[in-house]
Structure 1
């Protein structure tokens, strides 16, 4: 099967109303595919789901330790946050520690999706800054690495030493030569890979030895940081944060734009990657929930699960009108 398969469906009045199709792969600690749906070799842009891969050179180079980065900062380097005060405060402190400021970021200005921060800006008649960008944590990491390397300020350029280090780590851990790259919403290069390659890289993180070589130690630290500080990885109400909390810090997960999702399962030494082909976030969230439930790491009856899978649909009067569930035959 090389075509995308149904993964999530919306039913209303006993009839199928909408359906999300996609590709998904589960890999073991050796990088072998143990389960797949759709086409494992489908080439995708992982978008922000691969931020832990992009953060590997930050640790492997010694830059993180030289800068004295905390576990919270490592989690933040992997974040797609919503610009809440907890996120912008961390970004500003990190930049200040580097002797830098908002203008040194290259991620661009983004309005915060956090309502409290958005309302504060409106009341104060202030505009958003680059620290509000959902990728500002990753970019703080890039700046830290660039300083450590003695490299120039344009760290998002493809030929910059930071991005060359990211590409090398990305290809080595996915086990594939990237067929190309696109420019992400935050202006950094995003290297393409197959769904299987992305799952293989997550399996490497899952099996990483915290007492092993430099790369193993780096991967283990990033996984541990994400699972321990889920509020920094996304934010209140977000799938990554709520589902990691629901799994008690035993699993690290990360979403990416255009409906990509990955999971790192250290106790099972497995990695998961999926892509919903229509780019619909609700489909990706339902699909990752279904796979995590299948793997026995997520309670199907937890409120965070039921918010996204087997989710009862209610209208504005509170009346039950439908259900959003996994497609028959998936997971």
Structure 2
């Protein structure tokens, strides 16, 4: 799978399955059992640095674009008016696992706004955090919207709408907040929005090319505080993610582990359906990955491999090995195989 310099075919077929390349492989007993296909793009301020598959494939970034969705939180002045700190900004970019830490901090954020869990529009689901899930079972409690992995983002949404005096149905595609996010998405991606879908948390999600997503992440990587409202907002969000990786995802999660391994050299964010992005501030580089089948294991292996390739993490770091070449085990904990990054992708 050779890297290429070509940009997206803007006038042609931009389906997500067009031109997909081998990304990760599952080996069992010395035999190749499965292959995940996908796309990956590395961009800097000038454009594509390297690409695998089709950089023009149009995708939904899903939760990988939460940094873009958080831009109005800072750009409207809402964050400063409410005295929000780095923890709040990290939560606004988070897909957390609903641990007690996340629930407590988002609940306190809402209380400080004079609001409650009922004001959220993200819906409730069981927390991914095992300890919190078992606590709920023991207590006979049902999960609430604070357990939703997007509750931090929605706290940010509510902060903006309260500050601006906008209506409470902030996830409506026609709401001023979502119109501002749509505009910001097109601006940082450097292209027209290709479509809109509704995400799992009920917020609109705007379709862009994988190149556009990588270009947006490169813009975040190049941003510096004091260089205008947009750049300052970008830099603050990236800095908050790097400072608080435990809030962006949680223990045993890829985003948190890879950011810890990067030691300040990268901010990493996942999205549903096999999407991953990385922001490398020291290099001014943005990375975007899409596993064609939506497989998390493939996307995690790919983003880990690209972080190694770019010198942001060490391949031997246990936090990286866990994602780069994870061992597969059966229910008796016997080793049965491993995930390998496809040849040419390393």
- Once the two structures are TM-superposed, the CA of residue 52 in structure 1 deviates from its matched residue by 0.1
Aligned residues: 330
Distance in 2 (alpha carbons) for counterparts of 1:33 and 1:53: 20
1:14 equivalenced with 2:30 (yes/no): yes
In structure 2, relative to structure 1, the CA distance for the partners of 1:158 and 1:318 (3 Å cut) is closer
Gaps of 5+ in 1: none
1:223 equivalenced with 2:238 (yes/no): yes
Q: Which runs of 4+ in 1 moved over 3 A?
A: 314-320
1:79 equivalenced with 2:79 (yes/no): no
Aligned match of 1:26? 42
1:52 equivalenced with 2:76 (yes/no): no
Match of 1:304 among 304, 319, 322: 319
- Once the two structures are TM-superposed, the CA of residue 210 in structure 1 deviates from its matched residue by 1.4
Distance in 2 (alpha carbons) for counterparts of 1:44 and 1:103: 32
Match of 2:268 among 253, 257, 269: 253
Please give the TM-score of this superposition, normalised by the length of structure 1.
0.98
Distance in 2 (alpha carbons) for counterparts of 1:102 and 1:314: 39
Match of 1:234 among 236, 243, 249: 249
Gaps of 5+ in 2: 5-17
In structure 2, relative to structure 1, the CA distance for the partners of 1:186 and 1:318 (3 Å cut) is closer
Write the deviation string for residues 82-135 of structure 1: whole angstroms up to 9, x where unpaired. 100110001110000111001000000111111111111111111110010000
SS at match of 1:307: helix
SS at match of 1:306: helix
1:130-145 equivalences under 5 Å are 130-145=145-160
1:101 equivalenced with 2:93 (yes/no): no
1:88 equivalenced with 2:84 (yes/no): no
Matched-pair contact (CA < 8 Å) for 1:29–1:206:
no
1:293 equivalenced with 2:293 (yes/no): no
Aligned match of 1:207? 222
Distance in 2 (alpha carbons) for counterparts of 1:313 and 1:88: 32
Match of 1:41 among 56, 75, 82: 56
Aligned match of 1:152? 167
Distance in 1 (alpha carbons) for counterparts of 2:121 and 2:97: 17
CA RMSD for the aligned pairs? 1.0
SS at match of 2:288: strand
Aligned match of 2:7? none
Match of 2:335 among 305, 315, 320: 320
